[in-house]
Protein backbone atom coordinates (compact mmCIF):
# COMPACT_ATOMS: atom_id res chain seq x y z
CA UNK A 1 0.00 0.00 0.00
CA UNK A 2 1.16 3.53 -0.73
CA UNK A 3 0.58 6.29 1.83
CA UNK A 4 0.93 10.04 1.45
CA UNK A 5 1.31 12.37 4.44
CA UNK A 6 0.51 16.00 3.58
CA UNK A 7 1.54 18.67 6.08
CA UNK A 8 0.77 22.31 6.77
CA UNK A 9 3.08 23.74 9.45
CA UNK A 10 4.35 27.16 10.51
CA UNK A 11 6.55 26.48 13.55
CA UNK A 12 7.66 22.93 12.75
CA UNK A 13 5.46 21.19 15.32
CA UNK A 14 2.97 19.77 12.83
CA UNK A 15 5.84 18.72 10.56
CA UNK A 16 7.39 16.83 13.50
CA UNK A 17 4.08 15.04 14.05
CA UNK A 18 3.76 14.27 10.33
CA UNK A 19 7.31 12.89 10.28
CA UNK A 20 6.54 10.66 13.28
CA UNK A 21 3.37 9.44 11.53
CA UNK A 22 5.31 8.71 8.34
CA UNK A 23 7.90 6.79 10.40
CA UNK A 24 5.16 4.80 12.14
CA UNK A 25 3.46 3.91 8.86
CA UNK A 26 6.76 2.95 7.22
CA UNK A 27 7.91 0.88 10.22
CA UNK A 28 5.05 -1.53 9.60
CA UNK A 29 6.95 -2.75 6.54
CA UNK A 30 3.65 -2.88 4.69
CA UNK A 31 3.60 0.64 3.27
CA UNK A 32 5.55 2.89 0.99
CA UNK A 33 5.27 6.36 2.55
CA UNK A 34 5.90 9.81 1.12
CA UNK A 35 5.62 13.02 3.15
CA UNK A 36 5.21 16.44 1.51
CA UNK A 37 4.30 20.01 2.46
CA UNK A 38 0.85 21.09 1.26
CA UNK A 39 2.31 24.03 -0.65
CA UNK A 40 4.42 21.69 -2.78
CA UNK A 41 1.83 19.16 -3.89
CA UNK A 42 -0.47 19.33 -6.91
CA UNK A 43 -4.22 18.90 -6.50
CA UNK A 44 -4.10 15.56 -8.32
CA UNK A 45 -3.48 12.60 -6.04
CA UNK A 46 -0.88 10.04 -7.15
CA UNK A 47 -2.30 6.87 -8.76
CA UNK A 48 -2.49 3.78 -6.58
CA UNK A 49 -2.68 5.74 -3.34
CA UNK A 50 -4.17 3.67 -0.50
CA UNK A 51 -3.98 6.12 2.42
CA UNK A 52 -3.84 9.90 2.74
CA UNK A 53 -3.00 11.53 6.07
CA UNK A 54 -3.46 15.31 6.39
CA UNK A 55 -1.65 17.03 9.26
CA UNK A 56 -2.53 20.65 10.00
CA UNK A 57 -2.18 23.08 12.90
CA UNK A 58 -5.33 24.31 14.57
CA UNK A 59 -5.80 28.06 14.03
CA UNK A 60 -8.85 29.75 15.55
CA UNK A 61 -10.49 26.34 16.24
CA UNK A 62 -10.20 25.18 12.63
CA UNK A 63 -7.98 24.94 9.60
CA UNK A 64 -5.62 27.84 8.94
CA UNK A 65 -6.94 30.61 6.73
CA UNK A 66 -5.02 33.27 4.86
CA UNK A 67 -5.24 35.70 7.80
CA UNK A 68 -4.17 33.19 10.47
CA UNK A 69 -1.25 32.04 8.30
CA UNK A 70 -0.05 35.65 8.09
CA UNK A 71 -0.40 36.00 11.87
CA UNK A 72 1.75 32.91 12.37
CA UNK A 73 4.36 34.35 10.03
CA UNK A 74 4.38 37.64 11.98
CA UNK A 75 4.92 35.66 15.20
CA UNK A 76 8.07 34.12 13.79
CA UNK A 77 6.64 31.14 11.92
CA UNK A 78 7.77 29.94 8.53
CA UNK A 79 6.72 32.00 5.55
CA UNK A 80 3.11 31.16 4.81
CA UNK A 81 2.41 29.21 1.64
CA UNK A 82 -0.18 30.55 -0.77
CA UNK A 83 -2.00 27.23 -0.50
CA UNK A 84 -2.97 25.68 2.80
CA UNK A 85 -4.80 22.46 3.58
CA UNK A 86 -8.18 24.17 3.19
CA UNK A 87 -7.38 25.39 -0.33
CA UNK A 88 -5.76 22.11 -1.32
CA UNK A 89 -8.85 20.11 -0.31
CA UNK A 90 -11.06 22.50 -2.30
CA UNK A 91 -9.04 21.77 -5.45
CA UNK A 92 -8.81 17.99 -5.04
CA UNK A 93 -10.52 15.58 -7.38
CA UNK A 94 -12.45 13.32 -4.97
CA UNK A 95 -11.77 9.63 -4.56
CA UNK A 96 -14.75 8.24 -2.61
CA UNK A 97 -12.94 5.07 -1.55
CA UNK A 98 -9.57 6.50 -0.57
CA UNK A 99 -8.90 6.15 3.15
CA UNK A 100 -8.17 9.64 4.48
CA UNK A 101 -7.36 10.60 8.06
CA UNK A 102 -6.98 14.20 9.22
CA UNK A 103 -4.85 14.88 12.31
CA UNK A 104 -3.82 18.15 13.88
CA UNK A 105 -1.78 19.97 16.47
CA UNK A 106 -3.44 22.24 19.01
CA UNK A 107 -3.09 23.77 22.44
CA UNK A 108 -4.27 21.42 25.15
CA UNK A 109 -7.33 22.80 26.89
CA UNK A 110 -10.33 21.62 28.89
CA UNK A 111 -12.79 22.66 26.18
CA UNK A 112 -12.04 23.01 22.49
CA UNK A 113 -15.09 23.59 20.28
CA UNK A 114 -13.32 22.38 17.15
CA UNK A 115 -9.93 21.58 15.66
CA UNK A 116 -8.24 21.55 12.27
CA UNK A 117 -8.71 17.77 12.00
CA UNK A 118 -12.45 18.07 12.53
CA UNK A 119 -12.70 20.86 9.95
CA UNK A 120 -10.57 18.96 7.42
CA UNK A 121 -12.59 15.75 7.81
CA UNK A 122 -15.80 17.74 7.30
CA UNK A 123 -14.45 19.41 4.15
CA UNK A 124 -13.20 16.09 2.78
CA UNK A 125 -16.56 14.38 3.32
CA UNK A 126 -18.34 17.33 1.73
CA UNK A 127 -15.94 17.12 -1.26
CA UNK A 128 -16.81 13.46 -1.87
CA UNK A 129 -14.17 11.56 0.12
CA UNK A 130 -16.56 9.10 1.80
CA UNK A 131 -13.82 7.28 3.69
CA UNK A 132 -12.44 10.46 5.35
CA UNK A 133 -12.16 10.43 9.14
CA UNK A 134 -10.91 12.64 11.92
CA UNK A 135 -7.81 11.34 13.66
CA UNK A 136 -6.19 12.41 16.91
CA UNK A 137 -5.03 15.82 18.06
CA UNK A 138 -1.41 16.15 19.16
CA UNK A 139 -0.63 18.86 21.67
CA UNK A 140 1.72 21.83 21.73
CA UNK A 141 2.70 23.90 24.74
CA UNK A 142 2.08 27.31 23.19
CA UNK A 143 1.15 29.11 20.01
CA UNK A 144 4.54 28.35 18.50
CA UNK A 145 5.13 25.13 20.46
CA UNK A 146 7.03 23.12 21.42
CA UNK A 147 5.26 19.78 21.21
CA UNK A 148 4.35 18.47 24.64
CA UNK A 149 6.59 15.69 25.87
CA UNK A 150 5.74 12.32 24.34
CA UNK A 151 3.52 13.65 21.53
CA UNK A 152 5.84 12.62 18.68
CA UNK A 153 6.10 9.11 20.16
CA UNK A 154 2.30 9.02 20.53
CA UNK A 155 1.93 10.01 16.87
CA UNK A 156 4.33 7.28 15.76
CA UNK A 157 2.53 4.67 17.88
CA UNK A 158 -0.86 5.77 16.52
CA UNK A 159 0.42 5.44 12.94
CA UNK A 160 1.87 1.99 13.61
CA UNK A 161 -1.53 0.88 14.94
CA UNK A 162 -3.26 2.46 11.93
CA UNK A 163 -0.99 0.55 9.53
CA UNK A 164 -1.61 -2.73 11.40
CA UNK A 165 -5.38 -2.15 11.29
CA UNK A 166 -5.32 -1.45 7.56
CA UNK A 167 -3.22 -4.56 6.92
CA UNK A 168 -5.60 -6.71 8.99
CA UNK A 169 -8.60 -5.31 7.10
CA UNK A 170 -6.95 -6.08 3.74
CA UNK A 171 -6.06 -9.58 4.91
CA UNK A 172 -9.60 -10.38 6.08
CA UNK A 173 -11.04 -8.94 2.85
CA UNK A 174 -8.94 -11.48 0.90
CA UNK A 175 -10.37 -14.41 2.90
- The pLDDT of residue 129 is 97
Task: Work out the pLDDT band at 168, boundaries 50, 70, 90.
Answer: confident
Give the model confidence (pLDDT) of 56-106 as tens digits.
999 999 999 999 999 999 999 988 777 899 999 999 999 999 999 999 999
- The pLDDT of residue 119 is 98
CATH architecture, range 2-174:
3-Layer(aba) Sandwich (3.40)
From residue 24, how far is each of 29, 61, 79, 105, 174 by CA, in Å? 10, 27, 28, 17, 24
Task: Work out the pLDDT band at 170, boundaries 50, 70, 90.
Answer: confident
- pTM of the entire predicted model: 0.94
Q: Any idea where the domains of the chain sit in the sequence? A: 2-174
- The pLDDT of residue 89 is 97
The enclosing H or E element of 90 equals helix 85-91
Amino acid sequence: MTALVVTESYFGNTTAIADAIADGLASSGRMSVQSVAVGKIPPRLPPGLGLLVLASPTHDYGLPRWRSRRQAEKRGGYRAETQGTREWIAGLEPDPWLKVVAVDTALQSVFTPSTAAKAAAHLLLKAGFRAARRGPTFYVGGYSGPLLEGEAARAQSWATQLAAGLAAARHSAKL
